[in-house]
Structure 1
Amino acid sequence: MLSISAGSDPGYLTKTVGAGTEHYYLRSIGLQGEPPGYWTGDGIADLGLSGEVSNEVFEDLYTDFIDPRKRDEMYARLAAIPHAEGSEEYAAAEKAIRKDCRLGEAPRNYEKAYEKRLATNLEKAEARAPMGVLSPEQVKA
């Protein structure tokens, strides 16, 4: 059994299921690949899931926390956005639709948080530096 928590990469499982790429572990089942998984657990029925795991539903659920019961509705709404992909209007509409179809809070984007902290710390260091300029060595540190 594979346990997955928030922040896990569902691609780790879905890229190897049925592909037969992990020969070391699959010798006992004739190098045919990992058999497909089945939804199990106390909350599975509440999410409208049963039977064999669908890679697409699995990735939406564990990557973006998309409610499986609202998944089809979400993709229909995304396809109906009247703005050009890549535009600010499209991005805002997409964000709102995904928020409506999400279970709980959005996954945290740690890259943005890191970049923000780095920029703040560099500003503070520059303020303390002689003449307000950091050397390349100081920036790297």
Structure 2
Amino acid sequence: MKRILIVLTGILVLTSCQTDKKTEKKLETVVPERTELSQDSKIFLGNRLFSEKTCITCHAIDREHKAPSVVDIMHVYKANNADIVSFLKGYAKPIVDTTASQVAIMQANIDGFLKQITDVELDAIATYMMHVDELSKK
């Protein structure tokens, strides 16, 4: 009788372990792969980040405030076929005509919080800025 109980317990343990592994595999296949954001999602996220990260404090949409406007910035970047994301990552020098104090403030932002923003977020900010520029032409 004891042998039968031991054998049944062993079978139960083995079966439950196999069931757990099958369940784990099912759960792994249920999780969808991450896809790239749509253009509208990038614009929405970029708009939100532009405000949350206080870019809007210095950069108004279509007029110079404390620094060049988004429209002015994107005109210069497009005319020079330059990459705004490279600048925001600190890989490129500013190409927009600004004062030394404006450059110093922007450099502090690049060295500070912009280094902590993901590539997806930076791409969203750039997409939003391009979108703003396109809207200004209409």
TM band (smaller chain): under 0.3
TM-score normalised by the chain length of structure 2: 0.23
TM-score normalised by the chain length of structure 1: 0.22
Larger Rg: 2
Which structure exhibits the higher relative contact order, with contacts defined as CA atoms closer than 8 Å and separated by 6 or more residues?
2
